[in-house]
């Protein structure tokens, strides 16, 4: 039936099937209401057909409403077949019912915010306002004002009887029929707790029979906890079935003259019916409130579970590790990615210290400073540090640290640390840095001789000059020139000339043993040596050793008067003064070298022996 009412198909077999089902359910509900009313001198305690037909309209497409209303009206009239057909009140009864049902359905469909499940507070409130209060009042005014539906009763009495009967019928029948049309009731018996549902309904039926058959009014209070237990244990559908069952039992026993309502002394049948209706209204209201709160809580729990499942799916599927630490850095929660990253199971790290148990000791101070900054400024910090794997090896990680606060008090209660493995990235960066360093070294080295080039020479000399200026120490300079090198290239060729320069560079480097000394190719066949904290005498002594070492190699040079490759060296020394330049140091060494070349070559000349050079020694 639910498929027929919900389906968009308009095929005749489906329409007929829906019509037959609606006719039968409305007819059965009408007969039941009519028989109970006949036993109560024509006073309807509960009018269920409206609730049944309303549920059908709410679940059907509007194009089918005229057909369903016609079928429902015919079922209501036929349910009163035992009465003479010419009685006008039967027609007024049917017209009033159809108007009420159509009005409620139209307004509720217009006011709807989703499927009609009656499980949200908003839907229940709208259903109560429209279906239980407003529309039954309008229907009662219409029916009582235009037709004599309750002969022998005053206008007010007839209005109250009509209203209460309609309101209770909609309140008890519509929720059950909505569940039936949606297919929820058959699913209920296929549920794992079907036996528990059946047991609760049987217990509720037995309890209802016992309480509604005996004459004591106080015992009726036992039905409230039974209904509430059914709602809490099995949900609103079982609760609605239980309330409908109790309303049928109450009407049946009261109309048959049994139970606490029939036992009321000095009360008319109408008064007894109203007492029963008010009791059932209280029972329906209690069940509705509990069911609504229960369903709202269940929905919130379901949403929380879905949210938790989504968050867990995101966190657990991420290759990054999410750690939740308290303010003392103890780990309270760790995602499963920690197993892949560090080799630990999450349970192994519970309440262990992140800093002590996982972090490299050298990184702890910086990490502690970062935590302090995050807590004081309430802003995230990203930090790179080393972490210990379970096998004892170390890996590089990048952690994004943020503050975790209590939702109510906004007080800090811990830190969220999102850790990413950057070992490969760090290795790539190290390789890149190494390559950069090598490139810097290559950029500072003369490609031919392997010693520092002129650019690097200038940079080092500038740094050493400033250092000597600050400390007030002396600095020396050697300028070396290969004697008659042009003749060497002309006689032996440029390749032999390159070998000669490389040999001289290697010899000079071997003679300068201090790490602070630096050998550089000054230009062409000239070399320079920077000697920090060395006076001119020491520089001259080193220069002599270099000259002798080069000459001792006995590299043949027919273009040199000495017959072998020789060098000439000029040396100078100065104590830098504030604001001075190192250019005079080079100029002094250059003039000494020029004097050595003009005085026969293969010799060392000190700048202090040249009277025209300004110099200072220690």
Q: Which two tokens stand for residue 203?
A: 């217990």
Rounded-to-10 torsion of CA 484, 490, 494, 500: -30
CATH 3.30.70.270 domain range(s) in the chain: 445-609
Q: Is the pLDDT of residue 85 over 60?
A: no
Query: In sequence order, what are the beta bridge partners of 529?
Result: 478, 519
* Tokens 């609606």 sit on residue: 22
Average pLDDT over every residue of 400-425: 85
| Cβ neighbourhood burial of 241 (10 Å; 0-12, 13-18, 19+) | buried
Confidence of residue 541 (pLDDT cuts 50, 70, 90): very high
Q: Contact at 8 Å (CB) between 185 and 179? A: yes
- Return the pLDDT at 614: 42
Q: Is the pLDDT of residue 4 over 60?
A: no
- Return the pLDDT at 87: 59
Which H/E stretch holds residue 364?
helix 364-377
Q: For residue 534, give the nearest of 585, 584, 604, 462 by alpha carbon.
A: 585
Most confident range (mean pLDDT) of 87-101, 142-156, 330-344 is 330-344
Going by the DSSP 8-state scheme, the letter that residue 133 receives in this structure is: I
Residue 74: half-sphere exposure toward Cβ, Cα within 13 Å: 11
Residues with Cβ within 8 Å of residue 84, at least 6 apart in sequence: none
Most confident range (mean pLDDT) of 175-179, 327-331, 422-426, 603-607 is 603-607
Confidence of residue 153 (pLDDT cuts 50, 70, 90): low
343 vs 405, more confident: 343
Q: Which two tokens stand for residue 39?
A: 């036993």
- Return the pLDDT at 6: 41
Find the distance separating the first CA and the last CA of the chain, reported in whole Å.
114
**Least reliable range by pLDDT among 57-61, 150-154, 253-257, 265-269:** 150-154
Confidence of residue 550 (pLDDT cuts 50, 70, 90): very high
CATH 3.30.450.20 domain range(s) in the chain: 318-427
The CATH fold assigned to 445-609 is Alpha-Beta Plaits (3.30.70)
Nearest-5° Cα angle at 295, 294 to 301: 90
Percent of the chain at pLDDT exceeding 90: 21
- Return the pLDDT at 564: 93
Q: Is the pLDDT of residue 222 over 50?
A: yes
Measured in whole angstroms, the distance separating CA 535 from the mean position of its chain's CA atoms is 70
Q: Is the pLDDT of residue 388 over 50?
A: yes
Average pLDDT over every residue of 211-222: 86
Residue 255: half-sphere exposure toward Cβ, Cα within 13 Å: 22
Residues with catalytic annotation? 525
Q: Is the pLDDT of residue 3 over 50?
A: no
Phi, psi of 164 (to 5 degrees): -65, -40
Residue pLDDT, tens place only, 470-513: 999 999 999 999 999 999 999 999 999 999 999 999 999 999 98
Query: In sequence order, what are the beta bridge partners of 385?
Result: 397
Which CATH number is 318-427's, of 3.30.450.20, 3.60.40.10, 3.40.710.10, 3.90.70.10? 3.30.450.20
Q: Is the pLDDT of residue 97 over 50?
A: yes
- CA dist 1 → 68, 287, 450, 590 (Å): 13, 27, 95, 112
Residues with Cβ within 8 Å of residue 341, at least 6 apart in sequence: 319, 321, 395, 419, 421
Average pLDDT over every residue of 166-175: 87
Residues with Cβ within 8 Å of residue 13, at least 6 apart in sequence: none
Q: Is the pLDDT of residue 387 over 80?
A: yes
Average pLDDT over every residue of 269-282: 82
Distance CA 163, CA 170 (A): 11
89 vs 461, more confident: 461
Q: Is the pLDDT of residue 617 over 50?
A: no
Average pLDDT over every residue of 318-331: 86
278 vs 408, more confident: 278
Q: Which two tokens stand for residue 584?
A: 């005079």
- Return the pLDDT at 10: 42
Q: Is the pLDDT of residue 528 over 90?
A: yes
Q: For residue 71, give the nearest of 89, 52, 87 by alpha carbon.
A: 52
Q: Is the pLDDT of residue 209 over 70?
A: yes
CB atoms inside a 10 Å sphere around CB 604: 24
Q: Is the pLDDT of residue 323 over 70?
A: yes
- Return the pLDDT at 586: 92
Q: What mean pLDDT is reported for the chain?
A: 83
Distance CA 364, CA 356 (A): 8
Q: Is the pLDDT of residue 43 over 80?
A: no
- Return the pLDDT at 615: 42
Q: Is the pLDDT of residue 212 over 80?
A: yes
Confidence of residue 111 (pLDDT cuts 50, 70, 90): confident
Q: How many helices (H) and strands (E) does the chain have?
A: 22, 10
Q: For residue 91, give the nearest of 103, 69, 74, 105 by alpha carbon.
A: 74
Report helix, strand or coil for 25: helix
- Return the pLDDT at 534: 92
Q: Is the pLDDT of residue 578 over 70?
A: yes
């Amino acid at each position: 039936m639910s498929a027929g009412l919900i389906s968009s198909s308009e095929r005749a077999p489906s329409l007929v099937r829906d019509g037959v089902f609606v006719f039968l359910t409305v007819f059965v509900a009408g007969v039941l209401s009519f028989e109970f009313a006949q036993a109560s001198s024509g006073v309807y305690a509960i009018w269920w057909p409206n609730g049944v037909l309303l549920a059908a309209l709410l679940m059907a497409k509007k194009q089918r409403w005229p057909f369903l209303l016609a079928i429902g009206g015919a079922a209501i009239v036929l349910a009163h077949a035992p009465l003479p057909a010419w009685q006008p009140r039967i027609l007024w009864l049917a017209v009033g019912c159809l108007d009420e049902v159509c009005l409620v359905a139209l307004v509720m469909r217009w006011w709807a915010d989703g499927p009609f499940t009656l499980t949200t507070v908003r839907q229940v409130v709208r259903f109560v306002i429209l279906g239980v209060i407003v529309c039954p009042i309008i229907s009662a005014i219409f029916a009582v004002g235009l037709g004599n539906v309750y002969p022998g009763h005053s206008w007010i009495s007839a209005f109250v009887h009509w209203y209460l009967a309609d309101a209770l019928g909609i309140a008890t029948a519509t929720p059950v029929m909505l569940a039936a049309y949606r297919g929820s009731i058959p699913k209920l018996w296929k549920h794992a707790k079907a036996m528990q549902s059946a047991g609760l309904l049987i217990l509720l039926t037995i309890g209802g029979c016992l309480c509604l058959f005996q004459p004591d009014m106080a015992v009726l209070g036992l039905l409230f906890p039974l209904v509430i237990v059914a709602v809490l244990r099995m949900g609103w559908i079982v609760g609605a079935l239980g309330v409908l069952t109790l309303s049928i039992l109450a009407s049946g026993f009261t109309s048959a003259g049994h139970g606490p309502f029939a036992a009321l002394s000095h009360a008319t049948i109408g008064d007894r019916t109203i007492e029963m209706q008010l009791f059932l209204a209280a029972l329906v209201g209690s069940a509705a409130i509990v069911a609504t709160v229960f369903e709202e809580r269940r929905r919130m729990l379901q949403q929380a579970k879905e949210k938790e499942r989504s968050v867990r799916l995101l966190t657990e599927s991420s290759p990054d590790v999410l750690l939740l630490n308290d303010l003392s850095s103890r780990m309270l929660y760790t995602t499963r990615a920690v197993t892949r990253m560090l080799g630990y199971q999450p349970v192994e790290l519970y309440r262990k210290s992140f800093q002590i148990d996982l972090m490299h000791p050298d990184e702890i101070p910086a990490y502690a400073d970062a935590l302090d900054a995050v807590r004081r400024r309430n802003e995230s910090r990203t930090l790179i540090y080393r972490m210990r794997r379970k096998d004892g090896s170390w890996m590089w990680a990048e952690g994004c640290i943020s503050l975790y606060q209590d939702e109510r008090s906004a007080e800090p209660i811990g830190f969220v640390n999102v850790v990413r493995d950057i070992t490969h990235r760090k290795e790539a960066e190290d390789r890149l840095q190494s390559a950069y360093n090598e490139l810097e070294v290559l950029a500072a080295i003369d490609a031919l001789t392997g010693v520092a080039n002129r650019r690097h020479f200038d940079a080092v000399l500038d740094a050493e000059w400033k250092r000597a200026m600050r400390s007030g120490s002396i600095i020396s300079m050697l300028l070396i020139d290969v004697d008659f090198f042009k003749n060497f290239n002309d006689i032996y060729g440029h390749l032999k000339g390159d070998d000669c320069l490389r040999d001289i560079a290697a010899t000079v480097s071997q003679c300068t043993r201090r790490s602070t000394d630096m050998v550089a190719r000054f230009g062409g066949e000239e070399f320079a040596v920077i000697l920090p904290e060395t006076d001119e005498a020491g520089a001259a002594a080193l220069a002599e050793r270099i000259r002798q070492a080069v000459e001792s190699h006995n590299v043949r040079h027919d273009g040199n008067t000495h017959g072998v490759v020789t060098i000439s060296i000029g040396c100078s020394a100065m104590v830098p003064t504030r604001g001075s330049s190192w250019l005079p140091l080079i100029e002094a060494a250059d003039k000494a070298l020029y004097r050595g070349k003009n005085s026969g070559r293969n010799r060392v000349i000190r700048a202090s022996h040249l009277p025209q050079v300004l110099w200072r020694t220690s």
